[in-house]
Copies of this chain bind each other. A is one copy, B any other.
Amino acid sequence: METTGDARAGLEPTQLLNMALEDAIRTQRSIRRLKPDPVDDSVILHLLELATKAPTGGNRQNAEFLVIRDLATKRKLAQLNRAAWNTYGRVWRFFARNDEKTLRAMKAVDWQADHYEDIPVIIVACLRWSTYGPIVSGIRPPFPPFLASIFYGSIFPAVQNLLLGARAAGLGASLTVMPLWSVSLARRALGLPLWVSPVAVIPLGWPRGRYGPTTRKPVGDIAHFDSYGNRPYEGMTIETIPQSKRG
C-alpha cells in the first residue's frame, strides 16, 4: 500500500471546507487525464467519509469502497476497460463522426484507456448485502424498477459526494462503468465476494486538465410544472428568468 506523501504535500483535510457548494457543483466535470503522482490515504479517506454521508435506502449504510493502487489489479481493470471501449467506442465514434464536441470528449476516454495503469488510484463503489430480519437489501435486483431504484439510489448519491469532494480538493475524477461490463469478470479481477456488487469505477488523481464551468441545456427545458410538457421557463436559465419569478 502506497503511503508516501502526495504531489501536493501539505494539503489540509479541512481544505475541502473552503469551496462553496454551488461553485463545486457548477465546476465539477470529468477529468480523465491524470498525473501518476500518488494521492495520500488521508485525502482518499476524507473523500470517502463525505461519500458515507449520502442517503442510503432505509439508512442501511451498505455502500463500500475498494481503493486500488496495486499494479496487478489496475492491469486487470485496464484490460476490462479496454475490451469494452474497443467495441463500444468504435460504434459510438462512427455515429459521432460529424460531432466535434463528442469526438473531443472521446479523446479523453482514449487517453484514460491508454494510461489506465498509471492512474494513481482507482476507486470501485460497491454495495454490500445487508439484512434486517429476513428483509435483504443491497442485492442488485434486475426487477422490479422500484427495488432497482433503492439499490442504485443507495450508491450513486455517495458517488456524487465523492466527485464533488474530489473537485473541491483539486483532484481529477470521473464516473465510469466500462470496466464493469461483465460483473463476473470484474468481481474476479477485484476479488469481491458474492455479497458485494461493484456498481461504478472512479479513477482518481491530480489533474492534468482543469476544472471549470460546464455547459448544459437550460434548466427551463428539463423542468416540467405539474404535467409533463408544461415548461413555462423553456429556454431559460436562472439568470434569465423574469425578475418577478425570483424569490
Contact with B along A218-232 (1 / 0, CB 8 A): 011011111110001
Contact at B161–A25, with CB atoms within 8 Å? Answer: yes
Minimum CB–CB distance for A172 against chain B, Å: 13
Q: A20 CA to B191 CA in the complex, in Å?
A: 37
Enumerate 30 A-B pairs (CB-CB under 8 Å) in ascending A order: A1-B226, A10-B247, A20-B20, A25-B53, A25-B164, A28-B54, A30-B55, A40-B246, A40-B247, A46-B238, A49-B216, A49-B219, A54-B160, A55-B174, A59-B102, A67-B225, A70-B227, A142-B142, A142-B148, A145-B199, A146-B183, A149-B180, A149-B199, A152-B153, A153-B177, A153-B200, A155-B156, A156-B160, A157-B159, A192-B228
Minimum CB–CB distance for A241 against chain B, Å: 6
Q: Does A5 contact B (CB under 8 A)?
A: yes
Residues from chain B with Cβ under 8 Å of A200 in the complex: 149, 153
Contact at A222–B163, with CB atoms within 8 Å? Answer: no
We find that the number of chain A residues with CB closer than 8 angstroms to chain B is 120
Q: Does A103 contact B (CB under 8 A)?
A: no
Minimum CB–CB distance for A40 against chain B, Å: 4
Q: Which 7 A-B pairs have the closest CB atoms?
A: A95-B133, A156-B156, A152-B152, A40-B247, A157-B160, A160-B160, A49-B219
Residues from chain B with Cβ under 8 Å of A142 in the complex: 142-143, 148
Question: A18 is contacted by which of B20, B49, B67, B174 (Cβ under 8 Å)?
Answer: B20
Contact at A177–B54, with CB atoms within 8 Å? Answer: no
Contact at A45–B161, with CB atoms within 8 Å? Answer: no
Q: A219 CA to B236 CA in the complex, in Å?
A: 41
Residues from chain B with Cβ under 8 Å of A92 in the complex: 58, 132, 135
Q: A163 CA to B105 CA in the complex, in Å?
A: 28
Closest to A155 in B: B156
Q: Does A26 contact B (CB under 8 A)?
A: yes
Main secondary structure of the interface of A (DSSP, over half): mixed
Contact at A52–B238, with CB atoms within 8 Å? Answer: no
In chain A, positions 125-167 with a C-beta closer than 8 Å to chain B are 132-135, 140, 142-146, 148-150, 152-153, 155-157, 159-161, 163-165
Contact with B along A191-225 (1 / 0, CB 8 A): 11100110110000000000000101101101111
Residues from chain B with Cβ under 8 Å of A105 in the complex: 59
Residues from chain B with Cβ under 8 Å of A95 in the complex: 132-135
